[in-house]
Structure 1
Amino acid sequence: MADTTTNFLPSRRKVLLGGGVMLTAPFVLRGTAQSSEQVIVRTTGGRYDDVMRRQVYDPFTELTGITVIPVAATIAKMLTMARARNVELDLIDAAIGPLVTLQREGVLAPIDYGSWKWSKPDDVMVDYRQDKHVGHYVYASVLAYNTNSFPDGQHPQNWSDFWNSEKFAGPRMLADMATGHPNLEFALLADGVPMDQLYPLDIKRAFEAMSRLRPHIRKFWDTGALSSQMMLDQEVLLGSIWNGRVQPLIDQGVPLGFVWNQHMQQLQSLGVFEGAPNAKNAQMLIDFMLQPEVQARYSADLQYGPTNQKAFGILTAEQAAQLPGSPASRAVGFLPNIDWWEDNRELVNREWSNWILQ
């Protein structure tokens, strides 16, 4: 994808019409309610909106009387709106990369932690809690495998094993640049770089490692739906995939498994536009959303991990074991350095474009 303003988000987080109203100019919902009675949320659409409506938006409205209106908007659209100082969104629900970009543009308001009455800021992991954006769930890129081809005890345990095509033979998949985050970290882990020494990424070394494995890569996936379909159809036997894409297949009895070892934790975050028409309501919704009880409900539904650590005490042991962000999973995973990625995304994009054509 050539437009780097839309390269920030995994494809499951790009513009979707599904559960939200499409953002147009002028904003189609302007004037439908008094500003004190609504909050307009940039969201991801589809099933995600259904879960959030059921577990967050409707309970919030019932408690406060404030209507939550989800809409779809690209990062490019939000940047244009912010630069024109014509802000028609209140709350941004997006992957952390775009929020860092918006923060650098100076268009995000501080998160009003001091006003929280339902949640406690200290219960949110410090790595997920920043001045102008706060994480509200954790998803993870994990190493998945077909259990018929690699039965228990005979499956790859780490990315070095994944790169070992002789011992663990079979077609593979990795993430495409179009997801916003190709698997350079996994290539470096496979090449012997320790997890705590990944950054700054050695781009040349990463692509050299990718080249060694490339003959065994059936496809670089660009959407979560494609990655899960390839595993379901056994088009590939091994691959990187979001945990929330592989776990439902496992629950349905599909012969798949995955390992938490060396997984990459990724963050979906919340931010408030500076000058948002309903900024106070947006801050209230963040507070409501990060309560442990609320997070436990929608995390279990989405199969992604809560950022409020108290939520893990509400989930069952079985549920907690399936979600990233728990103390056990954090011990064997890593958070990407988002600042490095935002500083170097265009460079990686150029390198990827050249490499993929070779």
Structure 2
Amino acid sequence: MSVLPLQALPIELLRQRSSTKWRSYGDDVIPMFVAETDYPLAPAITAALHRAVEIGDTGYTPPRPGIDLDFADFAERRWGWRPDPSRIRWTGDVMMGVVEVLRGVTSPGDRVIVTPPVYPPFYDTVEEAGAVVERIPLIDDGARWHLDLDSIEAALAGGARAVLLCNPHNPTGTVHSRESLAALARLAHRYGASVISDEIHAPLTHAPAVFTPFLDAGDEAAAVGYIVTSASKTYNLAGLKCAVIVTGAEETAAVVRALPWEVEWRAGLFGVIANRAAFSAESDRWLASLLLALDDNRRLLADLLAEHLPLARYRVPEAGFLAWVDVSAYCWGDNPAPFIRREAQVALHHGPLFGVEGIGHVRINVGCAPEVLREAIERIGRLVDSV
């Protein structure tokens, strides 16, 4: 049976949601800023949560909730890589996991490399762990973005203790190649550093791009790496707290086992139930349908920008539902998002929050109905003639 693109929920139903996306602005604003999507939940998730409510299964998360086996099965189906379930732990969300791993592998004042433009909480997370951010921007060669391995090596040689990697990258949608990940792992291994890889967007990789889990990029990667990920971005489960921390060697697994016991207790029972249902084979067809819808929208955005904002610069992302768009040619300021929200009633994410590389940029969430995306870009396009 063929799979069709997933249909977004009607806008009037979405406006009944109480989440950040739908409660930050009034009904006159199209919200396309925060990374929430507008689709119905995967049926397996709905059924699992409904059953939990029906029987009052609202207590504490058990000591062995089973998500380790479910994630291992999911990774094997999706990427041909099966992590050892005994080296999979859990916590409340990806950033919680990242900060705890950073605390485990760095000391106060140590430098941690980030690769901007990058997800804004990366900066805060490094500081929360007591470390210091070292910025090494991605290289834009005009066709795609790459890790600046030469500069990363110089920083590691100069004493940086960890790399906080975004794989796939947010906001650019870059899927780092196996070769670049292996090269990064060799550098980290050579200089005794760690790599913490946020892989929350991995299930949303669009063909022909191929996602490589960092721990599967070679022996050195398994020795130095930590993956922190969740079903929450793909399956729109941010409000249900659960993420997994994955290691590939006994030494790194020992670091995670040594974390305070409450790190695992932060995973909510509904989060575990929902993530397990998401990672199950029952949800694979839903994911295939979602990927078709997102693929259509990432390409539709290119057409809409060409028609309504021809000076905008946009590279179709290799993964995810977030689009990184340079609108600096329109002279709407270093941070165009507030102007666009005020004048066009479209809320986009603020580019400069991702780093100085985001000046003149906005991030657009395309995880919505095509007609919503079309209306949003048409609204913004009308500003070109009015200013």
Which structure has greater strand proportion?
1
Q: TM-score, normalised by structure 2?
A: 0.27
